[in-house]
Amino acid sequence: MAEATVTASAGRPHLRIEGAVKSFDGRVVVDVADLTLGGNPVEGLIGPNGAGKTTLMRMIMHSIKLDKGKVTFYPGDGSRGVAISSLPAHAMASLGVVKTNQVIQDFEKLTIWDSLLLAAARRREERPFRIFAEKRVWARNTAEIKCYLEEFPFANPYGFAKSAGEKKLLDILRCLLLRPKLLLLDEPTAGLPADVRDRVMQTIKKKAGDENVSVVIVEHDLNVIWTLSDYVHFMAEGSVLLQGDPAWIREHETVVEKYLGKGHVGH
């Protein structure tokens, strides 16, 4: 199969990352010349430990400052790109760029229910005062939250998230309630039971397909990547070395050599 080229369609929300460099203690850990993320409904970002995947995602959300370079978000609705490198973090969610683990969650102070309600109130199209003032908005949001809670039950949704799995799930549901246009997931399934993991991923896949949300997943569980991704970026030593079709990536000799090991081919 020929190498797939980067084909970010104008109709999807996507990010363009140009000349983005980050060093820690004089060592370059991310050096991305020109990368488009979100050109397909679900994209995987894979690579060995320390490749720079988390750092790159944090650079996009600017919870880590870029040494140089720029990040532009294209909402995919025909409107012009927005340079997001200098935006304050809270403005990102209003634009529709959302990442799991982004907000420090106060799991001890907010119940699961309140946490979800707050996420619904913060989404792009809402003005926070309306959610409490207008019964209609309140009813719609509570119905939506109940729907999620039916599909993803918590031990006690009116209590606090306790286990690591509950916190993880709450984080993902909060992100979905924010109605993202572009959703970045950094190891979303670690710590989740297999059945919950599968349902979460199906929900995300459906949103990507039906609601035009562009999803980028960093995940070590490669079954998730091979099953769900429409396109895969392979990162190693701070740079994106290859991008293309999942079936092509998984058999590429560079990926096998630097990441998968010989045993993976054909499985």
Ligand X SMILES: Nc1ncnc2c1ncn2[C@@H]1O[C@H](COP(=O)(O)OP(=O)(O)O)[C@@H](O)[C@H]1O
Measured from the CB atom, is 71 or 112 closer to ligand X?
Answer: 71
CB of 117 to Mg ion, least distance (A): 30
Place of tokens 């403005």: 91
24 binds ligand X (CB under 6 A): yes
Residues 6 or more apart whose Cβ sits within 8 Å of residue 161: 105, 107, 112, 115, 154, 167, 169, 170
Stretch that binds ligand X, among 3-11, 53-61, 95-103, 147-155 (CB under 6 A): 53-61
CB of 93 to ligand X, least distance (A): 22
55 binds ligand X (CB under 6 A): yes
Integer angstrom CA distances of residue 86 from 56, 98, 139: 16, 16, 36
Binding residues with Mg ion: total (CB under 5 A): 2
Strand-pair partners of 240: 235
Integer angstrom CA distances of residue 27 from 56, 73, 127, 237: 15, 28, 43, 11
40 binds Mg ion (CB under 5 A): no
44 binds ligand X (CB under 6 A): no
Measured from the CB atom, is 42 or 236 closer to ligand X?
Answer: 236
153 binds ligand X (CB under 6 A): no
The DSSP letter of residue 262 is G
The residues that touch Mg ion, with contacts defined as CB under 5 A, are 53-54
